[in-house]
Amino acid sequence: MSGKVDSIHIRGGNALFGETQIQGSKNAVLPVMAAALLTEDVCVIENCPRISDVIHMQNLLTKIGCKLSRKGRNLVIDAREVSEDYMEGESVTGMRSSSMLLGAMLGRTGHITMAYPGGCVIGKRPIDMHLNALAKMGVVIEEKEGAFTAWAKRLEGNVIKLPFASVGATENIIMAAVKANGITIIDNAAKEPEIVTLCDFLQRAGAVIEGAGESLLMIKGVNKLHGIQFRIPGDRIVAGTYLFSVLGTGGHIFLKDAPTRQMLSVMRTAAMMGADIEISKEGLSVLAEPARIPIPYVKTEVYPGFPTDLQSPLMAVLSVGEGTCIIEETIFEDRFKMAQELAKMGAQIKIDGKQAFITGVPKLVGCEVSAGELRGGAGLVIAGCMAEGETVVKNRHFIERGYEDICRDYQNLGVNIYTG
Ligand code: EPZ
């Protein structure tokens, strides 16, 4: 980040009180933006979060030839014109979200050239499952120094068994299948809420899909889809981040438009830690004492298990208090990097392969720490809210990939926090 000050300052130690609005879901809106390409029409996406990953995807869609405009929280995508030659040799580089264009572009034009999407500090983030599945649908993939071209004369429905219930691979197969020839069955499909939202968007646009949210998904190819107006649900990971924050500081908060039905495993874990949770159709109320109940073990799993994206926020909370806890990370191979930053604040965490052994300490002490990726950065902000004194979290730009304005949200909850 040349020149631009890229930090967050937090004066911690206070309980959280207040209400904040939960933004639209990052992991739901990104595949929906890609799927708009398949409608060959104009789509209006409501409750679209203002985050850098969305801006990145907007830039990619514009590069491909779509016309995009923002009206407040609505994003208008005019996908009637897609200039295929734009993709000719044009490598779509950058973040992981570019991989979502794979299925959508193959379904739209039958052709895409792109660089392998970036890995990040939580793992290699390969797309082998995506490519193997698409090859079974008639896609030819040709690699060339760090990039590849994928094309298909005609996408053919097929039975695809995923070795792992990959969210991204499931999304790409769905987008390639909705206008393919015949029926596609995905065996061991991801069941995350973001899959249900993508299928909901596509069904409203005219797609024929059965089993959204189940392990067995059936898509029957149709000739045409049409544009729609569609609202993105609240972000379950952003809501879970703030929910765990109050378990770390104590207090009473209300999370407006939290997608509570998508948060059962998160609420169950919070309740085991002593949170008093109330659900209403407006959102989620959480009341917690400063001292939480110790829990011995948490394992991240595919949905509906405990989400890997909340593993770092939970680790920050568990670093203070009585007792020890083991967190087992089963989804990504390298998602404990935040522990070394928490140690600078006084946390006692030992990493052994897929497991983190956390020994609760009486308090954390604020200091300068560095975010290395999105959710680890959010975990450090939680630690700052809990810590005595001032904490400076550097590399705010990682957090801005998924949190619209984390300082605004925490200020709403009574935290002394600002960007600097
Ligand atoms: C999505 O990533 C989310 N990102 C992630 O959120 C989330 O953590 C993840 O799903 C799991 O829920 C978006 O939706 C944009 P996967 P994705 O394919 O699709 C391995 C956040 O913080 N794998 O389910 O990349 C992969 O390496 C982000 O918001 C392969 O080996 O997740 C990982 O270990 C982080 N080969 C595991 O599977 C493949 O072809 C889960 O990956 C694909 C995946």
pLDDT digits (tens, 9 = 90+) for 273-325: 999 999 999 999 999 998 889 999 999 999 999 999 999 999 999 999 999 99
Q: Which atom of ligand 1 is nearest to the CA of 53?
A: 15
Examine the fold and report which residue of 216, 231, 246 is the final residue of a domain before the chain moves on: 231
Counting ligand 1 atoms within 8 A of each CB, the residue from 167, 171, 196, 265 with the most, and so the one to mutate, is 167
Tokens 């190819």 belong to 221
Q: Looking at the domain assignment, is residue 2 inside a domain?
A: no
In a domain, 276, yes or no: yes
Instruction: Provide, for the chain, the percentages of residues in helix, strand and coil under a 3-state DSSP scheme, each rounded to the nearest 5.
Output: 35, 30, 40
CATH number of the domain that 126 lies in?
3.65.10.10
Q: What is the pLDDT of residues 319-372, one digit of tens each?
A: 999 999 999 999 999 999 999 999 999 999 999 999 999 999 999 999 999 999
- Rounded to an integer, what distance in angstroms lies between the CA atom of residue 307 and that of residue 300? 6
- Mean pLDDT for the chain overall: 94
Of 202, 231, 260, the position where a domain reaches its end is 231
* First vs last C-alpha separation in the chain: 13
Specify the residue with its C-alpha closest to ligand 1, atom 18.
Answer: 166
The number of helices, as runs of H, and strands, as runs of E, in the chain is: 14, 23
Query: Computed from CA positions of residues 240, 28, 207, 131, in that sequence, does the dihedral angle turn out positive or negative?
Result: negative
Exposure of 272 by Cβ count < 10 A (0-12 exposed, 13-18 middle, 19+ buried)? Answer: middle
| Residue carrying structure tokens 């705010």 | 396
**Domain annotation covers residue 60:** yes
Q: How many domains does the chain have?
A: 2
Residue of minimum CA distance from atom 34 in ligand 1? 332
Assess whether 75 and 42 both reside in one domain. yes
The angle that helices 52-64 and 26-35 make with each other, rounded to 10 degrees, is: 10
**pLDDT given at position 85:** 41
CA–CA separation, 137 and 139 (whole Å)? 6
In a shared domain, residues 152 and 72:
yes
pLDDT value at position 210?
Answer: 98
Domain that holds residue 88: 26-231
Do 85 and 117 reside in the same domain of the chain? Answer: yes
What 8-state DSSP symbol labels residue 22? Answer: P
Strand 42-46 and strand 147-151: the pairing is unpaired
Q: How far apart, in whole angstroms, are the C-alpha atoms of residue 408 and residue 420? A: 13
My answer on whether 207 and 291 are in the same domain is: no
Question: Per the omega criterion (within 30 degrees of 0), is the bond before 362 cis?
Answer: no
Let me know whether 116 and 245 are in one domain: no
Residue 1 lies in a domain: no
The residues annotated with a catalytic role in the active site are 120
Of 390, 383, 285, which is closest to residue 18 (Cα–Cα)?
A: 285
Per-position DSSP letters for 75-107, written without gaps between them: EEEE-S---HHHHSS----SSGGGGGHHHHHHH
pLDDT by residue (tens digit) across 131-164?
999 999 999 999 877 788 899 999 999 999 999 9
> Atom 31 in ligand 1: which residue has the minimum CA distance?
126
User: Between the CA of residue 154 and those of 108, 169, 176, 197, what are the distances in Å?
Assistant: 11, 20, 10, 26
- 171 CA closest ligand 1 atom index: 19
- Does pLDDT of 66 surpass 60? yes
Determine the Cα angle at 227 with ends 225 and 233, to 5°: 110
In one-letter notation, the amino acid at residue 324 is T
pLDDT band (50, 70, 90) for residue 3: low
Indicate which atom in ligand 1 lies nearest the CA of residue 30. Answer: 15
Using alpha carbons, list the distances in angstroms from residue 220 to 161, 179, 189, 204, 208.
Answer: 17, 8, 16, 14, 5
Of 265 and 95, the structure prediction assigns the larger pLDDT to 265
Q: Is the domain of 357 the same as that of 379?
A: yes
What is the per-residue pLDDT across 220-263, written as a single tens digit (0 to 9) for each?
999 999 999 999 999 999 999 999 999 999 999 999 999 999 99
State CA 14 to chain mean position distance.
Answer: 28
Q: Which residue has the tokens 């926020």?
A: 313
97 lines ligand 1 (CB under 6 A): yes
Q: Is residue 173 part of a domain?
A: yes
Cα 262 from chain centroid (whole Å)? 13
Same domain, 35 and 11: no
- Is the pTM of the predicted complex or chain greater than 0.95? yes
One domain for residues 80 and 183 = yes
Residue 272, pLDDT > 60, answer: yes
DSSP 224: -
* Domain end position, chosen among 178, 206, 231: 231
Would residue 154 count as lying in a domain? yes
Same-domain check for residues 271 and 414: yes
Do 240 and 131 sit in the same domain of this protein? no
Residue 78 included in any domain: yes
Q: Are residues 214 and 335 in the same domain?
A: no
Confirm whether 380 is domain-assigned: yes
Residues 207 and 238 in one domain: no
What is the CA(179)–ligand 1 centre distance, in A? 25
- 79-125 pLDDT per residue, tens: 999 885 444 434 455 555 688 899 999 999 999 888 877 656 777 77
Comparing 83-87, 245-249, 382-386, 413-417, the range with the smallest average pLDDT is 83-87
Phi, psi of 155 (to 5 degrees): -75, 130
Q: What DSSP element (H or E) covers 280?
A: strand 276-280
User: What is the arithmetic mean of pLDDT over 38-53?
Assistant: 97
Q: What angle do CA 209, 214, 215 make, to 5 degrees?
A: 105
